[in-house]
């Protein structure tokens, strides 16, 4: 087999492969023998169909399949052995002639796109901003409040306040008396706070357990949806309803925020992590700072991306090939959509190549320990979202193992680990202009970019 490369320009080339019939003869014969063993042809016992008949029935189809496999293997081998960094995949060339399957040799011509050469200089001549998000008193107070709220308790009380949840039996009235065949709901639940009418709300506030409160749902609630949900009737029935109802209070539940004590510290941060209010707040501030550093690094990575994409201005890419490849490999992609999205697609490709270049120049390696460490941090963050701050180590290990066992998760984690390493490399090599900003100022940077 012979492979010939012809350069069209710096980023486009063709590969011509000439396959002699003898190159794939053994492969074709082996496949046909397998077909013969399995063929079910009337008049012949399995395995005894004449080879000539098998050749006539399947020969050309098998030849095409084996040629495709052989050509694909040789293309990949040639590209690898010659260190050609291709973009996308080889595509059949417009110069491809019809292949004569009865001939002694077969010629295949492919177009390939070659990644352009470029350098990324990392030194102190390059200056990039790094936005450090400040943890202010308001942010700290809100986070502390979220913990006292999350770990609060529900207590049964004897007198209703606006924010309490009131449970009881509801009965429809007519002329001040219980209406025969009227609407009745057992264990109905309401909260005066969510009533739109202050007068109706005031009927409940101050009422005690076992009291009977007469009120009008039509006046109390905003719309038919609320009334139908409360009384368990249809929206159509709720729209026609104007009756008063009596509410017999059976229970009053009041939510109480957790007190600032050791029980809260242990629930929120893990046993023994903090032993005083000062230590509790200091630890929360430390966690907030760590969490915000992830956001700062993400913004820094975006700024790295923008800065180095500009450095690739003027470098030629095989755009025509890339558009053709995108349309060929995605049958649902329309040309007008491609034209609209192509600049972003090209920038994504450039950024991918930039990251590969930085990783290669700095000999970035991803070890198993890196993957486990990243997965563990991600798992802890997920558990923390549900208030699980202190997860047993064996549970965490099993969760991490499950994360890494899934191919899609593993690919994403590898990408993130490499990206984190690249951010660290760039941060250590360039001049970093640190700027302290508030969270609001930081978020506005993204709003401005989206606008």
pLDDT digits over 11-28, tens only? 999 999 998 888 888 888
157 within a domain of the structure (yes/no): yes
Are the CB atoms for 442 and 293 separated by under 8 Å? no
pTM above 0.85, yes or no: no
**For 19-23, 106-110, 128-132, 379-383, which range has the lowest pLDDT when averaged over its residues?**
379-383
Cα-based distances in Å from 429 to 97, 130, 299, 330: 52, 13, 17, 40
226 and 374 together in one domain: no
The pLDDT value given to residue 200: 97
Compute the half-sphere exposure of residue 256: CA atoms within 13 Å on the CB side of its CA.
Answer: 12
In the structure, what pLDDT confidence band is assigned to residue 387 with cuts at 50, 70 and 90?
low
13 and 109 together in one domain: yes
8 and 103 together in one domain: yes
317 and 438 together in one domain: yes
Q: How far is Cα 57 from Cα 36, in angstroms, rounded to an integer?
A: 11
Domain end position, chosen among 202, 226, 256? 256
Query: What is the average per-residue pLDDT within 39-63?
Result: 82
85 and 202 together in one domain: no
Residue 445 pLDDT more than 70? yes
410 and 294 together in one domain: yes
265 within a domain of the structure (yes/no): no
Q: The CATH number of the domain where 193 resides is what? A: 3.10.50
Domain end position, chosen among 208, 225, 256? 256
269 within a domain of the structure (yes/no): no
293 and 438 together in one domain: yes
In the structure, what pLDDT confidence band is assigned to residue 451 with cuts at 50, 70 and 90?
low
Contacts of 308 (CB under 8 A, 6+ apart): 120, 351, 354
266 within a domain of the structure (yes/no): no
19 within a domain of the structure (yes/no): yes
The pLDDT value given to residue 267: 87
Retrieve residue 239's tokens: 């729209």
246 and 302 together in one domain: no
241 and 383 together in one domain: no
Query: What is the average per-residue pLDDT within 64-88?
Result: 91
215 and 139 together in one domain: no
- Domain encompassing residue 410: 127-145+275-450
Q: The CATH number of the domain where 371 resides is what? A: 1.10.3120
242 and 291 together in one domain: no
**For 42-46, 179-183, 314-318, which range has the lowest pLDDT when averaged over its residues?**
42-46
Cβ count within 10 A of residue 329: 11
207 and 293 together in one domain: no
The pLDDT value given to residue 22: 86
Residue 357 pLDDT more than 60? yes
Query: What is the average per-residue pLDDT within 374-393?
Result: 78
| Residues written for the chain | 451
pLDDT in tens, 295-318: 999 999 999 999 999 999 989 999
Residue 103 pLDDT more than 70? yes
Please, what is the average pLDDT of the chain?
A: 91
In the structure, what pLDDT confidence band is assigned to residue 440 with cuts at 50, 70 and 90?
very high
Contacts of 448 (CB under 8 A, 6+ apart): none
The pLDDT value given to residue 45: 79
Q: The CATH number of the domain where 84 resides is what? A: 3.30.70.1050
Query: What is the average per-residue pLDDT within 105-132?
Result: 93
Retrieve residue 234's tokens: 């249809």
């Amino acid at each position: 087999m012979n492979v010939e490369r012809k350069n069209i320009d710096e980023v486009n080339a063709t590969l011509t492969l000439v396959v002699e019939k003898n190159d794939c003869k053994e492969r074709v014969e082996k496949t046909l023998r397998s077909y013969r063993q399995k063929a079910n042809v009337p008049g012949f016992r399995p395995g005894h169909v004449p080879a000539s008949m098998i050749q006539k029935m399947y020969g050309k189809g098998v030849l095409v399949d084996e040629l495709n496999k052989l050509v694909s293997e040789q293309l990949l081998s040639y590209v690898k052995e010659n260190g050609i960094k291709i973009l996308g995949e080889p595509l059949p060339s417009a110069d491809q002639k019809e292949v004569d399957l009865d001939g002694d040799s077969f010629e295949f011509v492919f177009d390939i796109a070659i990644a352009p050469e470029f350098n990324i200089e990392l030194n102190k001549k390059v200056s990039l901003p790094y936005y450090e998000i400040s943890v202010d008193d308001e942010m700290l107070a809100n986070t502390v409040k979220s913990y006292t709220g999350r770990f609060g308790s529900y207590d049964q009380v004897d007198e209703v306040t606006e924010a309490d949840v009131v449970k009881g039996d509801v009965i429809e009235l007519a002329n001040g008396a219980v209406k025969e065949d009227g609407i009745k709901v057992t264990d109905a639940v309401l909260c005066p706070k969510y009533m739109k009418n202050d007068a109706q709300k005031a009927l409940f506030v101050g009422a005690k357990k076992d009291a009977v409160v007469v009120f009008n749902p039509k006046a109390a609630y905003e719309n038919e949806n609320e009334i139908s949900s409360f009384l368990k009737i249809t929206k159509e029935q709720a729209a026609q309803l104007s009756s008063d109802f009596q509410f017999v209070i059976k229970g009053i539940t009041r939510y109480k925020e957790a007190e600032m004590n050791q029980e809260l510290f242990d629930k929120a941060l893990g046993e023994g992590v903090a032993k005083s209010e000062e230590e509790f707040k200091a630890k929360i501030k430390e966690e907030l700072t760590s969490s915000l550093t992830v956001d700062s690094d993400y913004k820094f990575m975006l700024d790295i991306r923008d800065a180095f994409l500009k450095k690739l201005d003027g470098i030629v890419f095989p755009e025509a090939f890339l558009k053709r490849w995108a349309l060929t490999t995605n049958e649902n992609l329309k040309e007008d959509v491609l034209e609209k999205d192509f600049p972003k697609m090209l920038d994504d490709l450039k950024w991918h190549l930039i990251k590969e270049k930085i990783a290669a120049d700095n000999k970035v390696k991803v070890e198993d320990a890196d993957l486990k460490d990243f997965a563990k941090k991600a798992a802890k963050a997920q558990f923390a979202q549900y208030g699980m701050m202190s997860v047993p180590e064996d549970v965490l290990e099993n969760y991490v193992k499950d994360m890494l066992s899934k191919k899609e998760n593993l690919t994403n984690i590898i990408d993130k680990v490499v990206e984190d390493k690249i951010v660290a490399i760039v941060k250590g090599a360039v001049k970093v202009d640190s700027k302290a900003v508030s969270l609001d100022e930081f978020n506005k940077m993204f709003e401005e970019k989206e606008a």
